[in-house]
A and B are shown apart, each in its own frame.
Chain A
Amino acid sequence: MASYKPTKIQIYPKLGEKVTQDTLYWKNYKAPVQIKEFGAITSIDFSPVAPHNFAVTAFTRIHIYGPFSQEPVKTLTRFKDTAYCGRFRSDGQLLVAGCEDSVVRLFDVSGKVALRMFKGHTKAVHVTDFTSDRYQIFTGSDDYTCRLWDIPNATELNSYREHTDYVRCGVTSKLNRDLFITGSYDHTLKLFDARANKSVMTMDHGQPVESLLLYPSEGLLVSAGGRYVKVWDLLKGGQPLVSMKNHHKTVTCLCLSSNGQRLLSASLDRHVKVYNTTNYKVVHNFDYAASILSVALAPDDESIVAGMTNSILSIKHRKSPEESNEVSGQQRRRPSYRVFVKGKNYVPKQDDYLVSKPVKQHLAKYDTQLKKFNVSKSLDTALETWTRLRKPEITVAVIKELDRRGTLKNALAGRDEQGLGRLLNFLIGNVVDPRFAPVLAPAAEMILDVYRQVIGQSPLVDRQLLRLQDLLEREIDYQQDLVEVLGMLDTLFASSLPRMEVARPGASRANGLAQGEAGASRPQLQAT
């Protein structure tokens, strides 16, 4: 006597991206907290000391948020015009910011009024930063200059007029107090040494430079401008290493993950891309609602903060380990240890008579019903909410099995409004999926056959039928469009392939390759 063979659930090829370690890591964030600011958010900076507050520069204010608060813990408002580039000093006590009115202001984080005002620039100051010795400030301005200021005296130490366009980004070295790098709209990056009066290294990015980033080791420099992200080797005299073009709009901001293994770039195309810093391949991608101007990662990647042009600040916090394990933990509830282990470790004695218990075959709920030929019930169990939404392939497999047994009609018939509604819901969700269409399209036809008499009796069912009809019409349009595109592609291929290939009878290699990729288990496009 053979045992019951459970219904075969077909494994479909996963659509979409592959699940990698990176996806798991970067997906492990909670739903974003969104805060409305007063204007476009141009800069976000995390305080280097705990509790790692972050300063958000937007319009004429700088808000300082705590790591978990949704309200600013501090607001700096003494700007006459749009503020730019609020940056913390390495001890987290002072904060510097530029302004549209060309004045650079230095704040005490706990105070409200600016401690120092550095006047000297003639145009808006977009870049400010502290040098690593903590006593000087470096600024870059739209008047094409960058300057060094002394904090205690509030005097200008040096001024460099080498750029020929706006200076919009810059970084200071964390290891050497005299080095800083600026990027300008004149497409160049310049490395300055405070001990010399002019730049010591110049690199050409080829696009207006929007953002700069130094690796913690400071051997590599990353610059973003236009659609490109470029990596430069400073130790080899500014030799370009990699050029990446993964965005389709200007890249606005760069940041590095806490372990330095991943690079993030934000762009006006509303994406944040995560790169692996060993091979510079994109390993993950975040979507946002609007163009992103600034992005920052909290230490230990605890949260991702992104500021957008529509003045929304989006904060995503990492899930705590308990939370991320919660889902799987709930599934794995088992009987208590004592019940579980009872009798398992009993060693039979010499004259014990062993009565073996037949091993019970565990079957899924729908299979137990199928085994008893309860076709309607098995379809009901397969249509339970969780299965229907999370594992549509199970529901489809059960429908297919019922069809194979010739009892699909019986299983579909005799449903009340609610049951039919659920069935139609499932169909609407999945009937156009090319993986399921061959099974579900006949089932939909059958439903229409069975319930033809009751159309018009229930508004709920009627609405769903209309939706189904609408969906199918749209799908047919899609398919027609696809066929048209296919025809266009064919002409393109035919004209681009060498003549010999065309003349030769038999299949072209390209055709073989294209089909081969989908070969393993090919979902077929199907016009319904």
Chain B
Amino acid sequence: MVEHGDIRVVHRGGSKINYREPVVTNDSRFLLCASGERVKVFSTSTEECVHELRGHTDLVTGVLLRPSNHLQVYSSSVDGTVRLWDFTDGILIKTYVIGYPVYSFYASANHGGVLFIVTPTQSDKRSELFQLVAVDLPQSGDQQVEARELSAVLSDVSCIPATIGFGRGGEYIASAKGLDLVVYFFKKGKSYRFPLKEDNKKGGKNTFLCIACHPKDDCIATGHEDGKIRLWRNFNHKKEYTYSTLHWHHNAVSAMCFTPEGTNLLSGGLESVLVQWRYNQESQRDFLPRLGSAIKHIAVSPDGALFCTSHSDNKITIIQSCVKVSAVIQGLVKGESVTTDLMVDPRSKSLVLNGKPGHLQFYSLQRDKLLYNLDIVQQEYIHESGLEQFEVVKVAFDASGNWMATVEERKQKDAELEFNLKLWAFDEQTQSFVLNTTVSAPHEARITAMCFCQATDSQTTMLVSASKDGHFKAWQLPRSARAEDEGPSWSCDFVGDYHGLVPECCCFSADGSLLAVSFQEVVTVWSPASWELLTTLSQPPKAVRDLCFGRLSCSKYLLGTTDNNLLCCWNLLTCSLEWSTSMDVSLLLIDPLTENMAAFCYQDGSSDLFVFKPSEPRPVFSLKAVCSGKVTQAVFAPREEMLESCEESSQWLNRSQLYFLTQYTDLMTFTTKAEEDRLMATSKQLVIDDSVARTPFYLLLGKHRKQENQDSLSSLSAEMMPVPQGSVAIKELLQTPAHVLPSTSFLCSMFVQSLLVSVTDGREESKHAEEEMESEKEEEDSEGEMESSTTRPEPVSLGSQSAESAALTKAQLRELRRVKKLDHGWLTGLLLS
């Protein structure tokens, strides 16, 4: 075995953004949310991630705007620290070390310098009991401050952040856990407890799930498991409290929020409907239905203009005052199980797996962004627990990405399995897949495997589906498009079986001339051209689990794994077993670009990876204990640009990258050290100025401009090296304080462009200079002319000056700067127009 120190397994993308409530900044331009060990800053208008605040070493459990400075934000983490950030620049300002894991934290404007945090009662992490403690944040100039002054406020609270809230003006804090509502009044230093009965007569569950306190009124709204909302009033007396009940939700209320003025109450739950209740006129409600999936958190911007809901499918929706969805920030959707294998769309090179119920998600690995969700089932999703829904279970792409096949199924108890095979054609115009054919009940029993013919040069594509009913079917698109208005649709071409055995997996050879279908312990090899059974291969006594044809130089090999932990390699030329080895392979897959194959083996509770070539006895690469648990989904994704690693052990990563899903549906990949270094370097460059709204157009244009600048700069440096003045001017430009200068990007491009033009227009420039010498008055006139005409003359004057003045004094330079600044105003205006 070869040891490989430099290849390691890393998390790749797809971190949760719905773990905690998002925060909208005061100017409603940014949205901050906790995402794994980082805090992400999104732009509310363009949905792009602007910054990532990195520094925490464990899960971030909360984000809060600093009440005294709206440009700073606190974040808390399980690593026992609270950090203060400047989110506009993405700078860490301070770290408060608390020493206990923080599960949620709260702050109020009326309690300056104090944070309220929820920590476990015992210091060990596993404890189920939590307490609310107040932390005095020491005033200190240091980067890292120890904050150890803790004073308990409430004991026995819930660690869910939604169950604690500050009341009007920070006078009291309300906390709910189980069936108890506790209100603690800071002035009195007393807490009142309001218990609910375990079960009322109608069988509803009264457990508190969330809490919201009215900002202007003494009123606490609580959400319950049976879908009721209770509005508590008069709770500063132990006995005379009252509550009224609102009931619209039919499932648990999971999130509630008052608008900043307290006029409306927002609530949401599993139904994925945002309900807006008018405060004091609760019979009037507004609804925003079909938000996609269950609402987990609701946040309102401080000015009340934007509502944010974060959903269980890793999505944040930004809503303009309960009317219109203005933006959707969507992360990688992680269902409970990925029933489709991981796939790579050959066209967009994006990762395809099932996401939202009934959808396929196309996830760009390079950009770590969800490209789009494709609705496969095309049915209204009913948000109700315990309802069987259609699920996408199989996906296949053909080699060119023109066709996609999906299988969706729905199993109801005591009813037949419903399943459909759908074929989708890629539409160039809409750049998306369009449904071409639906085959309802293509087989009599569940489909076990499905694959497209991968030959790129063949005229017609072919799909083979194998089913538990003992048949496999070949589907083909008829070549002769009939003259009817609807285009050609797929139909069954051949039905095959083998002694009534159940086919388990099927695989086409790389050139599409052979089809291998495994029937339990027998592998049958068919010729798709004539549908003749060519040969059978078998390795009794156990059933074949995975089948794979070799590629390129190894195309004569067929590999399979069996249930009795055997990896077999058959030679198709001799129709005999070439070699076999004993290993418990849970997944066998082939790199579509090279002849490498990867096998994940399950051993002692963890998975090992072997990368090998079928023709060589020694594995190319092996890594023990890649992750715990079985790996059942993995895929080779082609790289955008090839790596040039010459090391033997990492060569297999040169052309494609191996992604896999762990037991807990974490997306992981293998990287080399060199690649990581390069990634770090690029991420440092990518600090983006956010003075302009970051629309896609801006991104495009901004990049273009920057490139232009670089190009011109390099050409400038090549041409202008002998001219010392230019460099002097640049040096001067760099020496002046930054706050006096206009935006550098403008300045730079202007300045550089001006220099360029002056060189090419030498003749005109000299003439101009002469005129300048002749009379001051005329110059003024001409100056006026220039301003009214075009942008071109202006750089000329600049260039002439820089060219002629061999030794400019500092005063002159300053003058020059002033002129330049004057002109830039209208120039940018012209540029923008």
Contact = CB atoms under 8 A, between A and B. Distances in A.
A520 B494 CA distance: 13
Contacts of A5: 375, 378-380
A511 interface: yes
Interface string B521-546: 00010000001010000000000000
Nearest to A522: B441
B722 interface: no
A524 B493 contact: no
A370 B290 CA distance: 14
B761 to A, nearest CB: 40
A521 B495 contact: no
Contacts of B384: 405-406
B341 interface: no
B533 A506 contact: yes
Interface in B355-404: 375, 378-380, 382, 384, 386-387
B438 A521 contact: yes
Contacts of B442: 519, 522
Contact of B492 (A370, A371, A405, A516): A516
B557 to A, nearest CB: 24
A217 interface: no
B495 A8 contact: no
B492 A10 contact: no
A504 B290 contact: no
B493 A506 contact: no
A426 B497 CA distance: 40
Contact of B437 (A401, A512, A520): A520
Contacts of A404: 379, 382, 410
A1 interface: yes
A4 interface: yes
Interface in A501-521: 504-507, 509, 511-512, 515-516, 519-521
Interface in B17-39: none
A514 to B, nearest CB: 9
Contacts of B292: 2
Nearest to A509: B531
A506 B524 contact: yes
B692 interface: no
Contacts of B437: 520
A505 B440 contact: no
Contacts of B496: 506-507, 512
A47 to B, nearest CB: 42
B489 interface: yes
A211 to B, nearest CB: 37
A92 interface: no
B441 A512 contact: no
B416 interface: yes
A438 interface: yes
A143 to B, nearest CB: 57
B290 A4 contact: yes
Given A8-B378, A10-B440, A406-B384, A512 B533 contact: no
Contacts of B495: 507, 511-512, 515-516
Interface in A40-79: none
Interface string A410-434: 0000000000000000000000000
A2 B290 contact: yes
Contacts of A504: 533
Nearest to B415: A442
Contacts, number: 86
Interface residues of A, number: 31
Nearest to A506: B533
Contacts of A519: 439, 442, 473, 475, 491-492
Given A4-B380, A506-B533, A524-B441, A516 B497 contact: no
A3 interface: yes
Contacts of A522: 439, 441-442
Given A507-B471, A516-B495, A8 B379 contact: yes
Contacts of B382: 404-406
Interface in B803-818: none
Contact of B288 (A1, A507, A516): A1
A3 B290 CA distance: 7
Of the candidates B289, B324, B440, B524, the one having the most CB atoms from chain A within 10 angstroms of its own CB is B440
B379 A520 contact: no
A41 B142 CA distance: 117
A163 B439 CA distance: 63
Interface string B413-445: 001100000000000000000000111111010
Contact of A505 (B291, B416, B490, B499): B499
B642 to A, nearest CB: 40
B498 interface: yes
Contacts of B387: 405-406
A7 B475 CA distance: 27
A366 B172 CA distance: 51
B325 interface: yes
B488 to A, nearest CB: 11
B197 to A, nearest CB: 30
Contacts of A8: 378-379
Contacts of B491: 516, 519-520
Interface in B475-496: 475, 489-496
Contacts of A442: 415
A438 B415 CA distance: 9
Nearest to B526: A506
Given A404-B379, A505-B498, A507-B496, A520 B473 contact: no
A506 B526 CA distance: 10
B419 to A, nearest CB: 12
A433 B439 CA distance: 19
Interface in A471-528: 504-507, 509, 511-512, 515-516, 519-522, 524
Interface in B255-288: 288
A511 B498 CA distance: 13
A345 B415 CA distance: 55
Give me the 9 closest cross-chain CB pairs, A-B, nearest first.
A519-B492, A516-B492, A512-B495, A507-B496, A5-B380, A512-B494, A515-B495, A506-B533, A1-B325
Given A4-B380, A507-B495, 6 more contacts: A2-B290, A5-B375, A405-B382, A505-B533, A520-B491, A521-B438
7 contacts: A6-B380, A7-B379, A7-B380, A509-B531, A512-B493, A512-B494, A512-B496
Interface of B: 288-292, 324-325, 375, 378-380, 382, 384, 386-387, 410, 415-416, 437-442, 444, 471, 473, 475, 489-499, 524, 531, 533
